Structure 1
Amino acid sequence: MLSSEHHADVVIIGAGIAGLSAAHQLTRAGVTVSVLEAAPYIGGRMATENLDGFRLDRIGQLLNTSYPELIRAPALRDASLRMFSPGVLVHSEGRRHRAGVTVTATVTAGSARGALTAARALASAPRARAVRSRVPGTRAATRPGSRPPLGNALDQARLHAALGRLATTPVTRLLARPERPALAALSARGLPARTVDGFVRPLLSALLCDPDLTTSSRCADLALRSFARGRLCVPEGGAAALPELLAATLPPGTVRTGVCVTDASISAVGTKEHGEITCRSLLVATGARAAAELLPGLRVPDFHPVTVLHHTAPTAPLTDPALLLDGDRRGGPVAHTTVMSAVDPSRAPAGRTLISSTVLGLRTPPPGAELDGAVRAHLATLYGVSTDDWELLAVQHDPEAVPAMPPPHDLRRQVRLLSGLYVCGDHRDTSTVQGALSSGRRAAYAILDDLGVRPDQGTAQIPTAA
């Protein structure tokens, strides 16, 4: 008999959120799993760096309380989520305005279970409600004879109606709509150009990490639907908290980091550190490019690069735990920013401030000092304060942060390549945390089906091969 160190029912290559989601589902069904990760840490792009008491996310993807996978995975049901203020803040024409507040805006910081329960209350509401308001303490947005930065009352009514329809439209109906680039679809939705440019476009850019909105209109509709049904949020303590929760449910020794896979097949995986590990099924749960290297023939998508700059300041430029967007589009390099220590105090030492800002579309960032100077100049405009005494903590750049989803985009790409060989990741679903978790669960269910095991049936014996 092979020892558990050298045999597993399923070997999973990659300990990102998708691979750990699959491992979580498989071990709950009594399947033995070995997760191999080349990096010295788990989580993949959902990694968090500790720096002098600051917890800095690698790419800072946004979550939403309306993500179903946050409640489907038992390990994540009680995940502690820190909520942004309802809606978003939009900086336009020198002022900040709150926009996109929905009927679920009363959700407060808490667990994923409580947040999703509140978001589901929308199903019984006749229509979602979106409102716009000035941020307390700012001056009125208009001058006599001028146009409101985010549109007049009629423009707002049209926006409210559009978000309301999206919030209550079944997903199957959204996926049946004609598919085109998101920006082209927005221009045909009856929304005023002012509303699209000042609110919808910067919001979708932040949600999709796609500044040009070349993403499939179906994926954009799903993103707006999630926004209208829930609250933007982040895991307490950093993005790494979610993969850590999933890994904590696995038997000791299941996850091995710093392991280099030299060759892989359905029946065995070769490693430099542990020799050969035999298995009955292989699941590749790496990023798209690494998956294609292991499984020749897989398509490698284009990617949206993401650059995140983390600063600390003597005083918080904004006490509101809000996501701040640039509604002027060409005001500077920053797509969105937030005082992260106001959203999640655990991410900064006591008495310190953490500001995290995201720049989209930079394939190759300029030198650090040049980029920092341009970003701080833009942040001074967005926050309305001097940034001269801000300190740059880190610059996180990932040229392949988010797989692109241009039309036509298959939101449920096959995870079962053949019996015994599977692949998962956000490149097989939507390029979100929800998509990565969903693809991992789908892959686990496909494996269990081929092994003849029902999901969640506990410690059932795996049928032996005839």
Structure 2
Amino acid sequence: MDRHDVIVLGAGLAGLRAATVLAAAGLDVVVLEAQDGVGGRQRTDRVDGFLLDRGFQVLNPAYPAVRRWVDVDALDMASFPVGVRVRRTHGLVELAHPARHPSRLRATLASGLLDARELAALAAWSGGAIAAPRLAIRAARDGDDARLAEEWDRLGVRGPLRREVLEPFLAGVVAEGDGTTSDAFVRLLVRMFALGRPGLPAAGIQALPEQLAQRARTVGARIRLAHDAERVTHDGEGVRVDVAGGDPLRADAVVVAVGPERAASLAGVQPPTTHGLQTWWLDAPASPTRSRMLHLDGTRSGPVLHTAVVSGTAPSYAPRGRFLVEATCLLGDASERDVRMQLRHVWGAEVDAWRLLRRDDVRHALPAQPPPLRTTRPARVGERMYVAGDHRDTASIQGALVSGDRVARAVLADLGA
């Protein structure tokens, strides 16, 4: 029976970061991944010449953990503009960050979406988190937090900017449309959007975990794909991991870094509430726009939260002469007919000729982040057993990476390594 210092279950972002820290400290580390590739929720498939991420995902290089532990330049990122186009009842308007896109200021002012009182309230709402994020986190821990919708109501944010832009856009970010997410968490996300330009790696979102996996291997971690851990038990002074169709493994400690639904059964932790998203990927013979911006439906005429010509930003996502369009909804009962009808409305173009490439239903897209915001949960959940993942930190790439790093350092301290 194989014996190791640490077994890491799951080759997602948290597991790969944990494995890198542990192996770099000189420990014998093996990573067991049930799927046929690394990445967890961050996977990319090639379909008919298109790159399809499993759900619409972007990478924000402004995240502190990304700046510290990821070679962003090596990912050959293509960034989206900092702005959106909005389908209103009278037509399509544009809203762009004035400092990032000063040439679009006139179009932004003419959009009809900017109300002076609403803008002042939003500036006061977001300003504290942008200027002093740690104070915002500390205040949330002390109970000064609320549901996002309740906080906006209290501040008087009730105008078209909220209804037609912020609500559908943020619903696609936090994967819920009722405004029940922690106000403090959303303000921290807005801070990251203000500081960074989210985009896509040229090779797809899976390029991020592939880079982390290569780094883990370089410092000595071994990654075994198609190894599905069925059970974790204590075994004398260590732990035993039973693997489907294979021999069991033993170690001094185990880090459970699988998705929240699997972590509950493997580590015996309370399963967190999660939210789901649905992405429709379509092949268009011609682009409906020259704009690379995300498009929103301010009229809220259907289930689509946002849509974009992804290959307009990242040409590598589509074969030459074709265009990849995404449409993202909350996971639910959206039909292809409803989606196409709304896309026709948003784009002002004929979409019947667009070929459906795939529909991704991501049931556990993001852990819920209700108030009060909790940015960390205990690393150790039992004797020699640890849990890492964004469901133990914050629901983001930042949270997954920080959780993996924090848990690995807890293991090192406990093992005296």
TM score, norm. by length of structure 1: 0.81
Tell me which residue corresponds to 1:272. Answer: 244
Amino acid at match of 1:169: A
Tell me if structure 1 keeps the 8 A contact 2:133–2:188.
no
Tell me which residue corresponds to 1:341. Answer: 311
Amino acid at match of 1:268: R
Tell me which residue corresponds to 1:72. Answer: 68
1:390 has 2:354 as partner: yes
| Per-residue Cα deviation, 1:357-408 (whole angstroms, up to 9, x for no partner) | 101141xx46xxxx22211111111111111211100001022221111223
Q: Indicate which of 1, 10, 16 corresponds to 1:20.
A: 16
1:172 has 2:142 as partner: no
Tell me if structure 1 keeps the 8 A contact 2:126–2:187.
no
Q: Indicate which of 246, 262, 267 corresponds to 2:230.
A: 262
Tell me which residue corresponds to 1:354. Answer: 324
Tell me if structure 1 keeps the 8 A contact 2:28–2:221.
no
| Per-residue Cα deviation, 1:98-124 (whole angstroms, up to 9, x for no partner) | 335164x37xxxxxxxxxxxxxxxxxx
Amino acid at match of 2:312: A
| Per-residue Cα deviation, 1:61-108 (whole angstroms, up to 9, x for no partner) | 3332321111221555743322101222232224333335164x37xx
Tell me which residue corresponds to 1:229. Answer: 195
1:427 has 2:361 as partner: no
Q: Aligned ranges for residues 228-307 of structure 1 at < 5 Å?
A: 228-251=194-217, 254-265=222-233, 266-296=238-268, 298-307=269-278
Q: Aligned ranges for residues 42-441 of structure 1 at < 5 Å?
A: 42-74=38-70, 78-99=74-95, 101=97, 103=99, 105=100, 133-134=106-107, 141=111, 148=112, 150-153=113-116, 155-156=118-119, 158-160=121-123, 162-177=125-140, 178-251=144-217, 254-265=222-233, 266-296=238-268, 298-328=269-299, 330-362=300-332, 365=333, 371-418=335-382, 420-441=384-405
| Per-residue Cα deviation, 1:19-70 (whole angstroms, up to 9, x for no partner) | 1121122222222211111122221111111101111111223332321111
- Structure 1 residue 451 displacement after superposition: 2.7
Tell me if structure 1 keeps the 8 A contact 2:33–2:226.
yes
| Alpha-carbon distance between aligned partners in 1 of 2:95 and 2:281, rounded to the nearest angstrom | 25
Specify whether residues 403 and 23 from structure 1 end up closer, same or farther in structure 2 by C-alpha distance, changes over 3 A only: same
Tell me which residue corresponds to 1:446. Answer: 410
What is the DSSP-based 3-state SS (H/G/I as helix, E as strand, rest coil) of the residue aligned with 1:88? strand
- Structure 1 residue 345 displacement after superposition: 1.0
Question: How many residues are aligned here?
Answer: 407
Amino acid at match of 1:61: Q
| Alpha-carbon distance between aligned partners in 1 of 2:324 and 2:145, rounded to the nearest angstrom | 40
| Alpha-carbon distance between aligned partners in 1 of 2:24 and 2:247, rounded to the nearest angstrom | 27
Of all paired residues, the percent bearing the same amino acid is: 34
Tell me if structure 2 keeps the 8 A contact 1:75–1:249.
no
Tell me which residue corresponds to 1:7. Answer: 3
Structure 1, 156-165 or 169-178: larger mean CA deviation: 156-165
Specify whether residues 254 and 323 from structure 1 end up closer, same or farther in structure 2 by C-alpha distance, changes over 3 A only: same
Amino acid at match of 2:358: A
What is the DSSP-based 3-state SS (H/G/I as helix, E as strand, rest coil) of the residue aligned with 1:188? helix
Specify whether residues 83 and 262 from structure 1 end up closer, same or farther in structure 2 by C-alpha distance, changes over 3 A only: same
- Structure 1 residue 192 displacement after superposition: 4.0
Specify whether residues 102 and 13 from structure 1 end up closer, same or farther in structure 2 by C-alpha distance, changes over 3 A only: farther
Tell me if structure 2 keeps the 8 A contact 1:37–1:259.
yes
Amino acid at match of 1:256: R
Specify whether residues 38 and 96 from structure 1 end up closer, same or farther in structure 2 by C-alpha distance, changes over 3 A only: same
| Alpha-carbon distance between aligned partners in 2 of 1:74 and 1:392, rounded to the nearest angstrom | 33
Tell me if structure 1 keeps the 8 A contact 2:136–2:184.
no
Amino acid at match of 2:107: R
Tell me if structure 2 keeps the 8 A contact 1:62–1:207.
no
TM score, norm. by length of structure 2: 0.90
Tell me if structure 1 keeps the 8 A contact 2:17–2:216.
no
Specify whether residues 405 and 158 from structure 1 end up closer, same or farther in structure 2 by C-alpha distance, changes over 3 A only: closer
Q: Which runs of 5+ in 1 are unaligned?
A: 107-128, 142-147, 454-466
| Per-residue Cα deviation, 1:142-177 (whole angstroms, up to 9, x for no partner) | xxxxxx2x1345544554565455422333234404
Amino acid at match of 2:366: V
What is the DSSP-based 3-state SS (H/G/I as helix, E as strand, rest coil) of the residue aligned with 1:335? strand
Structure 1, 439-448 or 200-209: larger mean CA deviation: 200-209
More helix per residue: 2
- Structure 1 residue 312 displacement after superposition: 0.9
Structure 1, 195-204 or 376-385: larger mean CA deviation: 195-204
Structure 1, 159-168 or 346-355: larger mean CA deviation: 159-168
Amino acid at match of 1:433: I
Tell me if structure 2 keeps the 8 A contact 1:48–1:58.
yes
